């Protein structure tokens, strides 16, 4: 799941929690919305952490892209 999917989970959870007052028997939509928002926030944190680890900037200003391609950009 990419960054867009995580943001979509956060937005959907916020809509369920704050913008609706539907009631379903046996399902608390407020709790479902909160769970969706938490999963989205965890996803954003994991995606950002993984993206930060892939790109390293050396003190000399050289940007090293540590993906499978192994290319180095200056």
Q: What is the pLDDT of residues 40-50, one digit of tens each?
A: 999 999 988 87
Instruction: Give the integer Cα–Cα distance in Å for 42 and 19.
Output: 22
pLDDT of 45-67, one tens digit each? 998 887 766 665 656 666 555 56
| Domain enclosing residue 63, as ranges | 3-73
Which are the contacts of 53, defined by CB distance < 8 A and separation ≥ 6? 66
30 within 8 A of 19, measured Cβ to Cβ? no
Q: For 18-46, what is each residue's pLDDT tens digit?
A: 999 888 899 999 999 999 999 999 999 99
- Band of residue 10 on the pLDDT scale cut at 50, 70, 90: very high
Domain count, the chain: 1
pLDDT over 80 at 13, yes or no = yes
pLDDT for the residue 64: 58
Tokens of 73: 């950009």
What does the DSSP 8-state code read for residue 67? Answer: S
Alpha-carbon distance of 34 to 12, in angstroms, equals 10
Q: How far apart are CA 61 and CA 30, in angstroms?
A: 48
């Amino acid at each position: 799941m990419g960054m867009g999917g995580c943001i979509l989970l956060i937005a959907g959870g916020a809509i369920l929690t704050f913008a609706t007052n539907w009631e379903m028997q046996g399902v608390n939509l407020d709790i479902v919305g909160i769970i969706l928002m938490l999963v989205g926030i965890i996803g954003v944190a994991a995606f950002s952490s993984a993206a930060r680890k892939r790109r390293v900037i050396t003190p000399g200003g050289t940007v090293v892209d540590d993906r499978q391609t192994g290319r180095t950009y200056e």
